């Protein structure tokens, strides 16, 4: 696990680029799980960026990266943005990887972002709890089983309103059966 200072330095520099370019974004993945109070190890930062805005400002984004401490492949980023696929940038001082998703997994998720202190007391936009549960549910449906326990724990600590929203979206996404299955599983002990 990287020291907290590495996450904070990397995140603050990435956030400065997104903010300077007015690119809507939020944190997701393991950091969001930790921010909602669930213990979890993470080795990277996952960030969702508004796809249309990133496409419109791609040249400015690449210039900002060129003037930063991040390593990247311009051609890989251009191709990923065009196809709506994940791309990586690497903070060369901290050796911390950021996975950038130029797409919303859950329609409208960026509009439902919340501001939360993630690593230190600094607040960043983060995926809402219901959208975090749903995105992890989608990853499980695609074969990524490390998120199974995250779904259960995040769901159990959700409000009744958040749980209803998750169930409604899961129904729309045809993932209700999987959600029920995951919620009935037993948790693994935390080590």
Mean pLDDT, range 46-61, rounded to an integer: 97
> Is the model's pLDDT at 44 over the cut of 90?
no
CATH at residue 56:
3.30.460
Instruction: Indicate if 31 and 121 belong to the same structural domain.
Output: yes
Tell me the whole-structure pTM to 2 decimals: 0.90
Q: Print the domain residue range for 175.
A: 128-191
pLDDT at 7: 81
Triad 27, 142, 18: Cα angle to 5°: 20
Residue 98, phi then psi, degrees to nearest 5: -115, 125
| Of 78, 97, 127, the domain-final residue | 127
pLDDT digits (tens, 9 = 90+) for 165-184: 999 999 999 999 999 999 99
pLDDT digits (tens, 9 = 90+) for 82-141: 999 999 999 999 889 999 999 999 999 999 999 998 877 889 999 999 999 999 999 999
pLDDT at 52: 97
DSSP lists the bridge partners of residue 115 as 125
Instruction: Indicate if 42 and 6 belong to the same structural domain.
Output: yes
């Amino acid at each position: 696990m990287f020291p907290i200072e590495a996450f904070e330095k990397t995140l603050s520099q990435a956030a400065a680029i997104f903010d300077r370019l007015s690119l809507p974004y939020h944190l997701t993945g393991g950091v969001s799980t930790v921010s909602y109070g669930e213990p979890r190890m993470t080795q990277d930062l996952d960030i969702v960026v508004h796809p249309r805005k990133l496409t419109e400002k791609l040249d400015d984004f690449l210039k900002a990266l060129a003037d930063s401490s991040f390593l990247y492949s311009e051609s890989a980023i251009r191709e990923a943005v065009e196809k709506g696929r994940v791309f990586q940038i690497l903070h060369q001082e901290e050796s911390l990887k950021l996975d950038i998703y130029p797409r919303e997994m859950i329609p409208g998720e960026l509009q439902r972002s919340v501001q939360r202190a993630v690593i230190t007391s600094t607040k960043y936009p983060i995926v809402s709890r219901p959208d975090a549960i749903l995105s992890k549910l989608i990853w499980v449906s695609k074969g990524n089983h490390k998120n199974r326990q995250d779904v259960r724990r995040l769901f159990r600590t959700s409000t009744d309103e958040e749980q209803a929203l998750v169930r409604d979206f899961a129904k729309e996404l045809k993932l209700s059966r999987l959600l029920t299955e995951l919620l009935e599983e037993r948790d693994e002990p935390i080590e």
